Amino acid sequence: MKLRNGQLFRSETVRNCFTLLSAGSLSQLIAIVVYPIVTRQYNPDELGVLSLFLSIVGVGTILASAKYEPAIMVEKNERDAAAVFDLCFVINIALCLFILVAFVFFKPLIVSTFQLDSIAEFLYFIPLLIFLSAFGFVFTYWLNRNNRFRVTARYNLVQSTTNSSLKIVFGTLGFTRWGLIASTVLGQLIGVFSIFLQKKDYNRLFKFDRFRIKTVAVRQVDFPKYTLPHSFINTLAGNLPIMILAAYFNMPQVGLFSLGITVGFKPITLFAGSINQVLFQRVSQHKTQGIDSYPLLKNFCKKVLFIGLPAVVVLYFTLPSLVCWIFGTEWIEAGEYMQLMLPWFFAVLLASPLSFMPAVAAQQRKAMLLEIAYTVLRISALFIGVLSGDIRTAIMLFSLVSAGFVFGILFWYLSLAKNIEK
């Protein structure tokens, strides 16, 4: 009977993982498929505005829950887990109201200080989208805690499908200036509504028991104390290039860079996300059984090098014409930017599937310090390029420094695997 239960648990776990991974992959695939349509309806300037808008929202979303949401999963008591959700909701509301008030009273100062003229008319949508994004993200932790993985998958699919569909609709109707922003906000809003279809998914939430909220906030303080800084640095590093380039170059150039980096990383994310889970499970199992995982990871890297390196060489010579054919002649420069970023893309392709190694080897603190160093170096390289006044120089320096550091991280991951038993 115990064996059957174990088999049932494993099969249920596999089904749940497959549900989430399939929904996530399909959501990203939908976004990739509609891009050739979107780029023929919107111009680089409008895509640049959207990328800057989303960069600011991305940074704000990390702060909106203070990274308390993982505590929803680890709390043993159901009421305490619900209190963590309520805590995240209160923090989210407080931050978004603070941002809204700041925009109302200091909008001209904020716009001029951070050079946000290109998105000045959309500023009031920033706190709204931060609230919706953080709310949906935190809610998925609650759903996953209660094995409502299908609802989480539905939320991801509804949000992605609505966002992509509305982009096409607004573009067809000619609402190009507001279309990209409106479709993003409405997509997130409709996605959030999709998780409220059954009362059982939220009937234990929104109780706001002050004593219980205070108790879990103190008990789980390590999440905002340690996880929040790491996540914030990681997110800031990912969004700062758009913010910096938007401050020093025109929005069409930012839009072209945004398309290049988005199209370049989407396939890598799809590949690395799946492989990461498989290798993580294998290496963790090997560690428990005392088996050396270094040959497995080394062999994986050799195979990626063997297949990926020739592909990178071919792409280097064909990217501009390929981008022109897929996305339209207006976007050919995005292909040229992607050429400059190919070393970085390839390094991430190799290293990101092994990003679990610090957790397996209990080296999270060192991983955080390396993340800080990585952020400082790549942003410094970008600023040096910006000072040259040439966006290609900025992108090239940013890419080369990023690639060099990521390759160094890859060798560190392999050394962790090699010495994990020692």
Measured N-to-C along each axis, helices 125-145 and 149-173 cross at an angle, to the nearest 10 degrees, of 150
Confidence of residue 229 (pLDDT cuts 50, 70, 90): confident
Residue 234 lies inside a defined structural domain of this protein:
no
Which of 83, 84, 90, 76 lies closest to 223, judged by CA? 84
Residues 211 and 274 in one domain: no
Residues 154 and 17 in one domain: yes
Cα dihedral across residues 93, 98, 104, 108: positive or negative: negative
Residue 126 lies inside a defined structural domain of this protein:
yes
Residues 165 and 256 in one domain: no
Residues 53 and 196 in one domain: yes
Residues 176 and 39 in one domain: yes
Measured N-to-C along each axis, helices 391-419 and 332-351 cross at an angle, to the nearest 10 degrees, of 10
Cα dihedral across residues 237, 242, 244, 245: positive or negative: positive
Q: Structure tokens of 374?
A: 């990585």
Q: What is the pLDDT of residue 230?
A: 75
Residues 264 and 400 in one domain: yes
| Buried/exposed 251-273: b ≥16 CB within 10 Å, e otherwise | bbbbbbbbbbbebbbeebebebe
Residues 148 and 278 in one domain: no
Three-class SS of residue 360? Answer: helix
Put simply, whether the predicted model's pTM sits higher than 0.85 gets the answer no
How do residues 122-148 score in pLDDT, each as one tens digit?
Answer: 999 999 999 999 999 899 888 877 777
Residue 237 lies inside a defined structural domain of this protein:
no
Q: Structure tokens of 311?
A: 């592909």
pLDDT at 152 over 70: yes
Residue 213 lies inside a defined structural domain of this protein:
yes
Residues 199 and 306 in one domain: no
Residues 212 and 272 in one domain: no
Evaluate whether 106 touches 258 at the Cβ level (below 8 Å): no
Residues 113 and 169 in one domain: yes
Q: What is the pLDDT of residue 362?
A: 72
Residue numbers of the domain that contains 21: 2-220
**Of 204, 220, 236, which residue constitutes the final position of a domain?**
220
Domain count, the chain: 2
Residue 400 lies inside a defined structural domain of this protein:
yes
Residue 241 lies inside a defined structural domain of this protein:
no
Residues 177 and 282 in one domain: no
Residues 262 and 199 in one domain: no
Residue 230 lies inside a defined structural domain of this protein:
no
CA dist 405 → 100, 192, 273, 375 (Å): 38, 38, 21, 10
Residue 58 lies inside a defined structural domain of this protein:
yes
Q: Which helix (H) or strand (E) holds 371?
A: helix 364-387
Of 202-206, 221-225, 325-329, 345-349, give the lowest mean pLDDT range. Answer: 202-206
What mean pLDDT comes out for the span 276-289? 68
**Of 220, 242, 277, which residue constitutes the final position of a domain?**
220
What mean pLDDT comes out for the span 377-385? 91
